[in-house]
Structure 1
């Protein structure tokens, strides 16, 4: 990946890289008949967002004196990024736009809650309105992605360059895991 590339170019490349990893995962773990990988990926995303929050206890753990762990939070953040991109690829979406819209809320806590709410919107669409998925899914994923990036940049102090660098590192680790029977 080129140093200093634009966000849009970097994101397009991340989609290509994720498609390669997804191909390897699908080869090693073929989709079973009737399996709903889309919902599984959304549940995995919810888990990763929870793991991200857990590394940022100052945001919500009012009962604790534990401090945020920025490095671990960045690793968890890019796990979520992997799942958002992988989820989009499930629907043949090979890129998303940075809309420039600020979907974040007034606080990090409210923005985390909004991330979960947007995941729930997508889950509801898949479960309750499958006939609408084709028409609405890209916009809903794009909103989720822009919200997630906004959370990182506005409240967590992660730059886009840091996110890309950490994503690439984790992607290499994920390839290694697949090659070694993970």
Structure 2
């Protein structure tokens, strides 16, 4: 299981590299990576386990964040009600955003990142809706539409695969600037 000591921190060159595509069928090493990426999210979202292992809770974790420059990320957006199925849960491999809305969205509290230890205030404008193509660990292709929070989470993780960090999107001169047509997700 990955622990916080395994998470690569801002400043490490792997976070600024474009990751390599993953080949199918997955190697045993890639299967283990996918399993470990998702396990971190599941454990980190359980308050007792999160405290036991001294983790920071996360909804996404990309392979470069654990020092592996491969096009793979785990995403686990929990349901509002803990008894419901997660809004989105999968390991996305070789993901591509094939279309996105013109309308922008941003989280009201800004974004955070397991690889960035300091709080960087500001709105991170992203597409409010995306269509995402990816392959899962079993080699099955998916094409799904996501909106609002799940769309933002996936864009954040895909950015990691392209060497971009969330704060690269923040307006340096006016970090809390917004346009009239932006939607804000709480």
TM-score, normalised relative to structure 2 = 0.30
TM-score, normalised relative to structure 1 = 0.30
> Higher helix fraction: Structure 1 or Structure 2?
1
